[in-house]
Structure 1
Amino acid sequence: MRWMSEQCAFAVEAYFSNNHSYVAVQRAFHTHFGIKPRGPVPDRKSIVLWVENFRTTGSVVKTSSGQQRTIMMPENVEEVRQLILRSPRCSAHKHAVALDISHRSMCRILHEHLHFHPYKMVVVQELLPHDFQNRVTACETLLETLPPDALVFFSDEAHFHISGYVNKQNMCYWSGNNPRELHERPLHSDKVTVWCALLRVGVTGPYFFEEDNHAVTINSQRFVDMIKNFFEPALEKMHLGNVWFQQDGAMAHTARASMTVLRAKFPGRLISLRGDILWAAHSPYLTPCGSFYGDTSRQRFLNIAPQTCFS
């Protein structure tokens, strides 16, 4: 039962006035506050607590034994803000350790006082300052060099993991108990490597790089075999004229054996690193094969070369 300060003070006074008798305190409490028979009165434990508080603090009310909370003071909030601005990639836990405060307090400051929120980073191709100008130069060269009747094959390969991908952010399992569901996957999942070439009149491919029904790494020999045994027969069936071929600067593409075969097939019409028209490095978004990786990538591609790839 909660007692008022006046009642606690009377009980302490009665305790000292009645020769430290707890029973006498309870009887006096009955009479003074007009409590009915069998009504609630302070028990011995409560009276002892009030007396001890009075002896140690001079008050019957128990005072807080811990330090006053100062974590949310303006100077601490500003210190957290400066630390976050200096190292925005560190976790809240590391910042809390550095400032010697609890993780809970750190999160409260970040959310309630600073209104900061965690954002996930997206990994993209690193671009150097000169890469942007190289892209523009490559597009201008293509527009100036390619004749109006030119047909350009844009080629590339991609890896497709066949073990499946689970976005755990969108997975929920409602239950009264934790089902301990696990999604196990190997460290290096199985994948297939697929090559294709895009032309404004159609698609050549896909071609799977595999041996004995197992995916293999692309090297110059396998790339040459693909060109001779798959791409060249498909190209002959199409009966096209003034065909150009584009590829990026992957090592398998630009090896000596690969370049010899491609130059023989497309004399003076090879768009590649060390080709007849140089292809800018770090430029996957300039081709239809890589222009639709995402909205941001597509917009960057369309802003740089709207005519080169789709003409």
Structure 2
Amino acid sequence: MNNEFTDMLEAYFLSNKNSGEAQRLYSTRFPERQVPDRRKFSRLEENLRLYGAFKKPKKINREFNENVELNILLSVEENPKTSAREIAETLNSSKDTVQKVLNKHKYHPYIAQKVHHLNANDPGRRIEFSINFLNHTEADPLFYTKIIWSDECTFNNNRTYNRSIHRLNVWCGVFYNQLLGLFFIEGTLNQERYHELLTGHIDNFLDNLPLQQLNNIYFQQDGAAPHNARINVDWLNARFREKWIGTNSPFRWSSSVTGPFSP
């Protein structure tokens, strides 16, 4: 582009600064190029005299830019979980501007994830569970196929982990090559709703197993509070005797509780 500007200036001066003549001379010399507007020839000379450049530099309001940058950083400081889109909308700025400021100060986007909080006795429980599981596996290499592994997840419709308007729990179990569920539980998962799942869906599944499988089956659950309610522990003891894995079972699960959660 600078080469073209130089050629335009040369044509302008050779034409004694007559823009119309400069335009015709330029089109004759460079027929393969697009012919610029005649006013652009005189403007190039004016820009060089005033600004020392072919183009007039853009006016930069440094005070404004510094204020925008400061407000973006303050927004992140006040709410680290905010997004570039939310900051842009709040400050009436562009998302690209927000992203450039965040990149400049080495802020990186992340997605918050739930992780299990470790209690003081959890490391010992994990070692105990691992040793117990290995001992059972040495005695029976197919031990893992005789366990109903289970877990549940909570979903809500306001993109947060609590105080949701609508909550739905999804429970699923895996037994060897069979899938139990998905079973859906509306509302908060409490001891009564979990008991209904055990005495309904799990009981029905167990009643349809061959007797040989039923006598050797184990049931696993994690340390969620509803799992440890007396009504559910009593049912598990009666249904599986000592063959269940959980917080308060002879075969103790590797952690005492599920939560609280930390991002």
Larger C-alpha radius of gyration, 1 or 2?
A: 1
Structure with the bigger percentage of helix: 2
TM-score normalised by structure 1 residue count: 0.41
Larger relative CO (CA 8 A, sep 6+): 1 or 2? 2
